[in-house]
Amino acid sequence: GLAVDTIIYDMVLEAAMRAQNFNSKMLHISGSWKWLLDEFSDYYGLSDAYRKLRYLCYIMNVATPTKDCLELTYELLLPVIKARDDRTLTRQERSILLDCEDRINVLLAIVFENYKSLDEHSITGLSELFGPISDCAAPALAPAVQIFSVLHDILSNEAQSILRSYLQAAAAKRCRRHMIETDEFMSSNNDNLLTDDMTISAAYLKMKTLCINISLEIQADIKIHDQNILPSSIDLPNIAASLYSTELCKRLKGFLSASPPSRPLQHVAELLIATANFERDLDSWQVRPVHGGVLSRELFHDYIMVWIEDTRLHLLDYCKAEKLSYPAASTTSPFVEQIYEQIRESINEYGVVINRWPQYLMSLESAIADVEREVMKALEKQYMETLMPLRDGIPKILEKHVQRLTRRQSVAPYVVPNQVYKLASYHVVCSVGRSLMTS
């Protein structure tokens, strides 16, 4: 009977597999054993669907996410699915098919959830090392998509949702591996870890590297997507980037909260640039913005405002009268040179911020204006006794020279006396200083 024939066929199939050392890297039956199986099934009238299903069951026992395994699975599965749709399968064959489908779906989940970590030369089909980011689709990805399309209606929302969930899980795994390097900076004991400048600088460098690596992951997804292997309804870059961006934003917020930047120092500026470049790259790659994703200005806004206020308070403190040295009347106060050198250095520190977000220039200008008003107050206080007798006489001297110029008939160049130039400059400075203090 048919039941006995199938049992005997299964025994012959197992013998063929043992004889040919059937394993995950040697899945094909060839030669005399293949001829024997063909002759046996033809003689006893076993259906082609049963032969393929039974063979598929044994493959699933040793299946790996490799191109050869998946291509053979697709080759065996396709005619069986067509027979199912034509309702020509027996009850036994339908039962075997259901079991195979469950195991094939597990295999497909492994492929899609590790599509960047597939390795044809590995025993398991997966790379054991977290190596360089590959921007070329793994050979196993194409047959996996073919099998998925056979088992699911790829145009249905349900099938698309399943595939998206697989790809998001893959992105989550990759993201997790990248973030392991920065876990130590997120612990509750972080206060004990980041105590010296070198450690803090190294931490910021690792966060910068994290931003760059996540950007490279998305760039690789774009290149894989452009190979047109996945269904057109699956937008791999946006699916992956939505997870990468939200997870990176959470990590950056946590890191900046645990190790807040006190000033726009070199390592802070590098992280700020890397974060802004990440956001810029997403926009240039036409990746849709996602709620909770990286917005570099929002991440650093509160810190920038604190930096500007700290700069203002530091410079104002420097302008206090008790810190001024009183030089001789004939010399220039070193205070002026020192304070403006500090202002220049402070402005240079904010170059990275202003170049990317010019709107912070208004806040910085307001802070510098407060400092300049304080400078004028300090100078007037320091030179009050020297300048008071001159204040009333300067306008008269200037008016005298202006009248002399207006009465000249010659067109020859007129050289303003150095004394008049200095007086005019001082008059302008005093006028500006008073207007600044008034405003």
Model pLDDT, residue 334:
73
Q: Say yes or no to pLDDT of 273 above 70.
A: yes
Domain coordinates of the chain in residue numbers? 2-146, 157-294, 309-410
- Section 389-407 average pLDDT: 63
User: Residue 312 burial (CB < 10 Å; 0-12/13-18/19+)?
Assistant: buried
- Section 65-92 average pLDDT: 95
Question: Cβ contacts of residue 273 below 8 Å, gap of 6+?
Answer: 352, 356
- Give the three-class secondary structure for 204: helix
- Section 400-409 average pLDDT: 64
Model pLDDT, residue 119:
93
Model pLDDT, residue 330:
46
Q: Say yes or no to pLDDT of 208 above 70.
A: yes
Q: What is the pLDDT of residues 87-126, one digit of tens each?
A: 999 999 999 999 999 999 999 999 999 999 999 999 999 9
State both tokens at 183: 């876990």
Model pLDDT, residue 390:
58
State both tokens at 364: 């910085």
Mean pLDDT of the chain: 85
- Section 56-81 average pLDDT: 96
State both tokens at 175: 């993201």
In the chain, the amino acid numbered 272 is L
Question: How far apart are the C-alpha atoms of 159 and 154, rounded to whole Å?
Answer: 5
Model pLDDT, residue 215:
96
Model pLDDT, residue 320:
72
Model pLDDT, residue 431:
57
Lowest mean pLDDT, pick from 149-153, 304-308, 373-377: 373-377
Percentage with pLDDT > 70 across the chain:
81
The pLDDT-based confidence of 322 (bands split at 50, 70, 90) is: very low
115, 114, 101: which is closest to 147 by C-alpha?
Answer: 101
- Give the three-class secondary structure for 304: helix
- Section 311-322 average pLDDT: 78
- Section 265-283 average pLDDT: 95
* Residue predicted with more confidence, 6 or 241: 241
* Residue predicted with more confidence, 431 or 201: 201
The pLDDT-based confidence of 316 (bands split at 50, 70, 90) is: confident
Model pLDDT, residue 387:
60
Model pLDDT, residue 186:
78
- Give the three-class secondary structure for 23: strand
- Section 284-307 average pLDDT: 94
Model pLDDT, residue 406:
65
